[in-house]
Amino acid sequence: MSMVNRALRKRNTIFALSHPRKEKTLSKENVKRLNLRDIPDILSLENKITESLFGDEDIYDIVYNSFITLGIEDEGKLVGAVCFDDYPSIKSLPMWSWEAWLRNIFNLDMINTLNSKWIRLLVFDVRYVTSFLPPILQVLFSEFSTLKFVVQAIPPNIKTTNFLTNDVTRILPKGNISPQTTTTLGLLARKDFFTNYKIRRAVEEDNDDVVAIIDRSSSTLKQIYGEYYISELLRVEGTSRHIIVAEMDGYAVAVLIANEDVNYAVLNESFEVGPFHGFRTVHDDDDFYYSTELKRHSLPPDESLIELFAHDHFTPQPSLSSYSQGSSSEDIIIPNLFTSSESSSSSEDEWTLDPSLDLSTLMVRREEDTFDLFGYLRVGSQSSFLSTCLLNTDAFIPSFIVQKTISKSSSLDLRPTKEVSDALKKNIQIPNFPGQPDAFALEVLVSDTNHEAAAKILLESAFECFNNKNYCLMCCPSTEPPQNFLKDFVRVTPRNISVFPHDLFILHRSTIDSKMDVRISVEEDSPYIIEFLHQMMKPSAIFRQYVSSVQNKNSEFLTLIMTCENQIVGLAVISEHVDMDYLYAHYTLYKWIDESKHGGDTVGTLENFLIYPVFQRYCRYFLNQIHRLTDFSLLTYAVGFDDLDSNFRDRPLLNCIHYLVPVSPRRMPDFDPKFIEESCFPPNSVTETKHVFSLFVSMVRLAGLKRIEVNTRIVVIGTGDTAMGFLETLVCGSGPDLLVTFNNVTVVSPHGLPFYREISKARNIITVTRGQTAYHRILQMNLRIHVNIVHGVLGAIKRKKKAIVINELTLLPYDYLVLFCGEQYKMPSLRQKVRRKFSAFPENVFMINTDSDVIQVFNKMQKYKKFLSDKKFMGHDFLIVYGNDIRSVACLAALIEHGIPPNFLAFVEPTNCQNFSSKTPESPNLTFPDPEIAEAVDKIIVNLGVKLFKGFVLDDWNISTENRVSEVVIISKSMSVSLGCKFIFIYAEKSISNKTFEAINKAGLVFDGRLVIDSRFCTNDPFIFAAGPLTKYSRKYQADHKNHIYYNAQEVGETIGRFFREMLIPESFKSFEKSSTKRTYPDGISKFESSLPDFHKPIVISCVLPGEIHYLSIATPGKHVPVELMMTSDDYGQLLVTGDYEHLERQGYFRLHVNRMHIVDSMCCLSKEVSLNT
């Protein structure tokens, strides 16, 4: 049947080509990106022309390996598809040598790897033979601004090329006049698919057209300056402002306004402009300041290097600076190539805020200040934020470890105190760039509908108005949706102390229409590479890799360089060592790649990747050429734990990392040989655990994916389970159709992200694992790559200024604030008033709320470890654990594992609700859900020798002169007991911290026992969101039983993360975002009337109990009734129990509850054998 269909398609093709008819016009709105899911539709479009052009090719393989595949639809049906790649579809021509083939055979010098794409596959419905391709090419050229040509290799005996549109140019080899005997080319040029605009300076007669164009985008200028402000600007003589327009058919359809007047001092204070020389010409007196732990490293005096430079052919060469003179890129030499403020920290101490610095007084924008569009680059009214630096990074400078000069733009009535001013003068430094001004500001760039291409042309023409300037600067609000022309710009990293209200983007003259090339490095490149590497902090390791690649024929390294006008502007080092079996087993590569398409010799590793910041837009081009020249279809990049620590790493984080695809780790089970037969045991690649790292991948098809950058400032408070679920979904939740980078996500927490230090077995035991929040997984995700971290405590929320106060010192602005504060253990309410002569928090009282608390407690315990086992030292004192939370039992087990003799431990377990807030029992995770398990745990504790005081509450304590609790008084209904105390661990009442409550209350957010939110996680402030135990739904919903505290915290975080992605990704990109929540709100229905989100994931709790007993509990989400009451109901269902909880050494205990609908409602397990995966 398939042969008959193929024959019919061939006949229809011949008939359609020989009897042309008027075809239906298609537009670029009908064009869409295709992926592997669309291959069946692509196969249905094969015809005779396809077979004659490409032969019997594997269409799946072509689509899988192509840079981009575009299709066009008519009435929802695919009628044409084209695959574009970086090399022609000629099997006898190696993909890395086609440029020489073009020059030698066709004498085509204007086509190169940067400005061209080749058609690798072309299929179409014969009814649209001449109309399907032009819209596809229009979309391709508009999507990739560097493209100028699309080329099709046409085999011999192809007579007609009308399927390549009427604008195709048939090119024959030199000296050949017959297309019947040789391969020819079909050349399609960008200029033939776009309107030819007339670019000129604006005149007063353009006022009406220009004002109308600008007004359609924003009416602000017209409201402020009237209807004739363009005419008035043009009348001013001697101005530094230029206005140019794009004209078509006598009307202006696009306008650009640029100004030479730029406030370099403010930009230097607010942004990391060192890599760009402060937007000034290079000067011998340029300053560059490094953080104290980052000093310039010289190349090592290695004998191999000496030998390298001893060869005769290494004659003195001009430096990069002199080499660039006369070229169009003379000012791109950047001595401090990678200095920036990264979002990572080297240690928690370095991240601690210095309480002597009041950064909030530096440059605060006043609410009453008037915002002047034409002068915003020259005014000092600003507000502060941090930014992830993935562009120009070699130095990880911790946030709020600041540089060294007081801002000259501080408001007079907001000057810092003398003490703070002295500290700032001492600790802040800003580099000085005395060169000549070298930039102009882009004030307005807007085009009419359907004339977006004119904006690109105007942008290139702007440099002709400023012949002596090399940088184009543009400021853009962080909330502005991504614009297409911004893809040509580079976002500049703000300084840590920056309070500038907008993001800064730059475009360098050399990145426009320059000759770019990528090639494999040779030994003769060494002088230039040395000069290139001397501009980074630690060049030693990279240079050794380069030397190995050029001197050793069998080296595992391969070095490639990218040049601009024959000057090195980028360098990459590739190696072949990749353990793909391990990667396939431990990471979700299946979501992105087809394992069968990548053999062992087609996968490489990105060891290093460096590129000048102004050429950041060419990262994708550089990566594609690496694939083409090395024949590696897949490149991997691993970010290890030490790569984010400036004290240990010897290579920079790749500044192309936002062009790579992050791969999530798999959830790996534990494989125990005791329970698995040898023949069924997985291979070593599955069971072994290597060094923890985050994985990124690159391949040509993934490089062509749709990408957007969201610069909205999102400030997240807290790092609990809900916050971690939110961050993972937000920054790592991209699907195979759209890659989204969030550049401005900041996490505020006293101790940073959790689990970023190695933990001992005792520390691991004290941690109660909940669902996916596992130590190993968090390290593999390595969110420090994607977010900024500020170590501090929320002090206040300034809603009018849209900023928060951290540690009562520093303002941190936000566009959206997300509160995940959660609940914390608090000091119990003592019945007698204790006179505290010293601190309100005794030194030997511990309340463990975070992973950092665990580390600090055990570090302190380690100092006393040998004394805590000494009877003379202990006397009659105890280490006391107080609480009836499951964490208190885990703490007891951790102390025993730490080496504390059980007879020196006392466990005080108060009765439910006794001496506790009435709100505390709302938590579903207090005590054990099964009374039999609770009884078994009590017996285990007693049998170990621990003193158990059940039903006692903390009544009083005595504090010594050293500010230590020396004695604790506990009481029950019938007696009072005094216990000597060395240390006490308190797991009693949990509630929102006083500071958080005060900040919420003073900000005017609705608080009804908990922070009130609606169905979209929003508070009464549309820019403040919240989720987790901190929150409750508004009483309008009558849904207290659906509060987040009763559900899986990770799932709650994932849900609000998906909602944020849906909210922040522009509507034009929604069709690519397959993971959106798909929730819609019909007109006329408010968000308060929409349904509440549903949560379905179970609540999973696992921990280690005293006696090395492993506990696991899995329960359905939602508010639970105590087991004792449930069992009295007729609807309880069936309870299945096996094992003996009183003799766990012989057999484990398992309890399964099946409800009346025959669905598993909960299960509990106690075991002494099975090791739970954490």
Task: Give 251-308 pLDDT, tens digit per residue.
Answer: 999 999 999 999 999 999 889 898 898 999 988 877 764 432 223 333 444 443 334 4
Asked if 573 contacts 559 with a C-beta cutoff of 8 angstroms, the reply is yes
pLDDT band at 771 (very low <50, low <70, confident <90, very high): low
Query: What span, in angstroms and rounded, lies between the C-alpha atoms of 1149 and 1154?
Result: 17
What average pLDDT score do residues 724-752 get? 89
pLDDT band at 1071 (very low <50, low <70, confident <90, very high): low
Q: How many CA atoms lie within 13 A of 863 on its CB side?
A: 6
pLDDT band at 9 (very low <50, low <70, confident <90, very high): low
Q: Is the dihedral of CA 344, 348, 349, 351 positive or negative?
A: positive
Q: Residue 844 has what pLDDT?
A: 87
In this model, does residue 29 exceed pLDDT 50? yes
Query: Which of residues 170 and 336 earns the better pLDDT score?
Result: 170
Q: Residue 7 has what pLDDT?
A: 47
Q: Residue 444 has what pLDDT?
A: 92
Q: Residue 89 has what pLDDT?
A: 87
Question: What residue has token string 């006329």?
Answer: 1084
For 679, residues 6+ apart whose C-beta sits below 8 A from its C-beta are none
Lowest mean pLDDT among 485-494, 908-917, 1102-1111: 908-917
pTM for this model (two decimals): 0.83
Q: Residue 174 has what pLDDT?
A: 85
In this model, does residue 1073 exceed pLDDT 80? no
1090-1104: per-residue pLDDT in tens? 589 999 999 999 888
Q: Residue 356 has what pLDDT?
A: 30
496-525: per-residue pLDDT in tens? 777 788 999 999 999 988 889 999 999 999
Q: Residue 1170 has what pLDDT?
A: 57
- What is the rounded average pLDDT for all residues in the chain? 79
Query: What span, in angstroms and rounded, lies between the C-alpha atoms of 107 and 91?
Result: 21
DSSP tag of 1018? B
Q: Residue 757 has what pLDDT?
A: 60
In this model, does residue 387 exceed pLDDT 80? no
In 337-468 the beta strands, taken as DSSP E runs, fall at 439-447
Q: Residue 859 has what pLDDT?
A: 81
Which H or E element spans position 349?
A: helix 348-351
Query: What is the residue-wise DSSP string for 1102-1146?
Result: EEEETTTEEEEEEE-SS----HHHHTTSTT--EEEEEE-TT-TTT
Domains of the chain: 2-193 (3.40.630.30), 705-823+992-1079 (3.50.50.60), 840-991 (3.50.50.60), 1099-1167 (no CATH)
Query: Which of residues 611 and 1144 earns the better pLDDT score?
Result: 611
Question: Residue 1013 has which token pair?
Answer: 């939110």
Query: What span, in angstroms and rounded, lies between the C-alpha atoms of 337 and 228?
Result: 45
Query: What span, in angstroms and rounded, lies between the C-alpha atoms of 906 and 941?
Result: 10
Query: What is the residue-wise DSSP string for 213-253?
Result: HHHHH-SHHHHHH-TTHHHHHHH-TT-SEEEEEEEETTEEE
Query: What is the residue-wise DSSP string for 713-726?
Result: -EEEE--SHHHHHH
- Residue 967, exposed/middle/buried by CB under 10 A (0-12, 13-18, 19+)? middle
What percent of the chain stands above pLDDT 90? 37
SS3 track for 844-883: CEECCCCHHHHHHHHHHHHHCCCCCCCHHHHCCEEEEEEE
In this model, does residue 733 exceed pLDDT 60? yes
DSSP tag of 1172? P
Helix (H, G, I), strand (E, B) or coil at 679: helix
Question: Residue 1058 has which token pair?
Answer: 């998906």
Helix (H, G, I), strand (E, B) or coil at 160: coil
Query: What span, in angstroms and rounded, lies between the C-alpha atoms of 420 and 359?
Result: 9
Query: What span, in angstroms and rounded, lies between the C-alpha atoms of 344 and 567?
Result: 32
Q: Residue 1074 has what pLDDT?
A: 53
Query: What span, in angstroms and rounded, lies between the C-alpha atoms of 903 and 942?
Result: 10
In 565-602 the beta strands, taken as DSSP E runs, fall at 567-575
Q: Residue 648 has what pLDDT?
A: 62
906-916: per-residue pLDDT in tens? 999 887 544 43
Q: Residue 20 has what pLDDT?
A: 52
Asked if 1117 contacts 1046 with a C-beta cutoff of 8 angstroms, the reply is yes
Asked if 387 contacts 788 with a C-beta cutoff of 8 angstroms, the reply is yes
User: What crossing angle do the helices spanning 526-533 and 540-551 adopt, rounded to 10°?
Assistant: 160
Query: What span, in angstroms and rounded, lies between the C-alpha atoms of 155 and 141?
Result: 25
Nearest CA among 406, 445, 403 for reference residue 428: 403
Question: Residue 1067 has which token pair?
Answer: 């509507």
Asked if 844 contacts 984 with a C-beta cutoff of 8 angstroms, the reply is yes
Asked if 297 contacts 540 with a C-beta cutoff of 8 angstroms, the reply is yes
β-pairing, 471-477 vs 439-447, is parallel
In this model, does residue 1106 exceed pLDDT 80? yes
154-186: per-residue pLDDT in tens? 988 887 778 888 888 999 998 777 777 888 999
Which residues are paired to 472 by β-bridges? 440, 507
Q: Rounded to whole angstroms, what are the CA distances from 721 to 2, 443, 641, 713, 724?
A: 54, 44, 21, 22, 5
The total number of residues shown for the chain amounts to 1174
96-119: per-residue pLDDT in tens? 889 999 999 998 989 999 999 999
Question: What residue has token string 């290093």?
Answer: 608
pLDDT band at 832 (very low <50, low <70, confident <90, very high): low
